[in-house]
Structure 1
Amino acid sequence: MKSNFFLYLFLLGACSSPKESEIKSEKRIITAGGTITEIVSELGLGDLIVATDITSTYPTKMKELPSIGYRNQIKSEGILSMNPDVILAETDYLSADVVAQLKATGIEVKFFEKPTSVKGAFSLISDLANYLGVTEKGKLIQEEVKNELLELAQFLEKQEVVEKPTMLFIMARGEDMVFVGGDDTFASSIIQLSGLQSPVLGFKDFIPLTPEALAKFNPDYILMFDSGLATLGGEEGLTKIRGIEQTHAFQNGQILAFDGLLLSGFGPRVAEVALEIAKSVYP
């Protein structure tokens, strides 16, 4: 009798287990947003992704999948051709018309806030893990990130710094489109996390960079996307940004460039890139 009772408990547990097996076997997922794609892959569900957007560059195998495009370039026809069950997208990434067309066909569209802080990173990992029925896996990823953040904190504690160096994030799309990252952006968050400080900016979001602003900010370090630096022709092309030659950062060769998704994604690798930046500044 007792053995039958334990068998009943086992079967009950099997029947009430998370819907992970259901999702793994049935769902065809399209992701729109590099951080979402990275987290879904880290959760062990990357094989369910049938198409992504052009910002989804990690893991690298995601670049081999069909692309749905980028933001307002995305059309419902391209998505529908992939026969997805669900679209996982950053908030406001898809146009209202595209969302309405997709929902009219019965396809589920689920939006998630793009993180710009460590707190946001943890929330997105949790939200995606819960939605996809792999809550425990999400908790494991969060623990890994916490351990890496602890390593970062221990490294920074060892540095004897009287005053933190200043770092300015510059986003370039060729010499005619150069912007500076303000307060309350991923740029200010990653700079602070890395143990540095932004110059006193006095603005939020991203604004066009002027020579006058560069002279005013005069950062010790400049941080960029490697793709943005490439649009200028590499470090040799930085002189195309007017006023940059007068900064401490340029004069001392203190220009740092990282992969765009790694730097701005605030996904599972957020502590990794912050530690890389910190070690570049505090060797």
Structure 2
Amino acid sequence: MRFLFLVIVVISTITPSVAATLAQQTQRIISLSPHTTEMAYAAGLGNKLVAASAYSDYPPAALQLERVANYRGLKMERILALKPDLILAWQGGNPSRELARLEQLGINIIYSNPKTLADIPKTLEQLGQYADSPQTAQQAAAEFKRQLQQLKIANHNQPKIRYFYQLGSTPLMTVADSGWPSQIFSFCGGDNIFANSRAAYPQVNQEQVVVRQPQVIFSTQPINTTLQLWAHWQHQLIAVKQHHIYQLNANWLNRPTPRTLLAIKQVCALFNQVRDQH
């Protein structure tokens, strides 16, 4: 699953009057992915959301929004009937043809495309220009940066830990360093055994994993499910032999939002647990 960051072209010296105009002109927002829904609420746009995608479950208020998108596509007729001023789209996840049609109809679309952890507070600040109170986004961004800096200091210069992030099992996939959420593992001192794969989300096989000998295997699937997959290799694979297989919170890990901080805390704590045992 590809999780991408909001790319917004704005003028850095935007004046208060221009910001106020943007906020006044933007009253009806539709979000087409769970992470853009979460970011909209964090930036103070919750009162302007009129619809969202399936699995938009955070914060709890998002559960009350009408659903106009899922893995099958977009409900185009319903989206048009809701007359949005702004759409938050998942680039690579939402169908490009349908998004192009919406743009042709004159609807403003902001696309999502994550790159770094630092982009999360930048997006909050940028989305804040559409909110009635930009201070909400500014405060959320400042708090994210403050906590991220604290975590950076706490995890500075830690010994590297070789890891494999299991993204699905049929087929077996993972994430290269160019794809989200590798940034989280790297922040905590993780050394990705498939870091240099040409594809951002490569399909691999078990033998390739065994050859690279990760010290840790992470997955968002239940631990028992992951253990069953690797049981055959329990004598050859260090991570299995030493019981270093961990389940991570999928929503924290895979959605580039302020809750990414929770994913960092979880991953760093598990890496430190492995370090302590060695």
Q: Name the TM tier (shorter chain).
A: 0.7 to 0.9
Q: Which has the larger radius of gyration?
A: 1
- Structure 1 residues 16 and 192 mapped into 2: Cα distance closer, same or farther (>3 Å)? closer
Alignment partner for residue 179 of structure 1, among 173, 177, 180? 173
In 2: Cα distance, 1:121 partner to 1:66 partner: 26
- Structure 1 residues 140 and 213 mapped into 2: Cα distance closer, same or farther (>3 Å)? same
* Matched residue, 1:70: 70
Q: Which amino acid aligns with 2:40?
A: V
* Matched residue, 2:210: 215
Which one has a larger percent helix, Structure 1 or Structure 2?
1
Q: Which amino acid aligns with 2:32?
A: A
Deviations 1:119-154 (A, max 9, x none): 322332233223446544332222101111122123
Contact kept, 8 Å, 1:20 with 1:133, in 2: the verdict is no
Q: Which amino acid aligns with 1:178?
A: L
Q: Mark the runs of 5 or more structure 1 residues left unpaired by the alignment.
A: 1-13
Matched, 1:256 2:258: no
TM-score under structure 2 length normalisation: 0.78
- Structure 1 residues 185 and 192 mapped into 2: Cα distance closer, same or farther (>3 Å)? same
Q: Mark the runs of 5 or more structure 2 residues left unpaired by the alignment.
A: 1-15, 274-278
- Structure 1 residues 32 and 15 mapped into 2: Cα distance closer, same or farther (>3 Å)? closer
Q: Which amino acid aligns with 2:179?
A: T
Q: Which amino acid aligns with 2:75?
A: K
Q: Percent identity?
A: 18
In 2: Cα distance, 1:200 partner to 1:17 partner: 43
Deviations 1:175-216 (A, max 9, x none): 422211112111321111123222254304112221211112
TM-score under structure 1 length normalisation: 0.77
Contact kept, 8 Å, 1:29 with 1:87, in 2: the verdict is yes
Alignment partner for residue 236 of structure 1, among 186, 199, 224? 224
Q: Which has the higher contact order (CA 8 A, sep 6+)?
A: 2
- Structure 1 residues 244 and 208 mapped into 2: Cα distance closer, same or farther (>3 Å)? farther
3-state DSSP of counterpart to 1:208: coil
- Structure 1 residues 154 and 97 mapped into 2: Cα distance closer, same or farther (>3 Å)? closer
* Matched residue, 2:8: none
Q: Which amino acid aligns with 1:169?
A: Y
3-state DSSP of counterpart to 1:241: helix
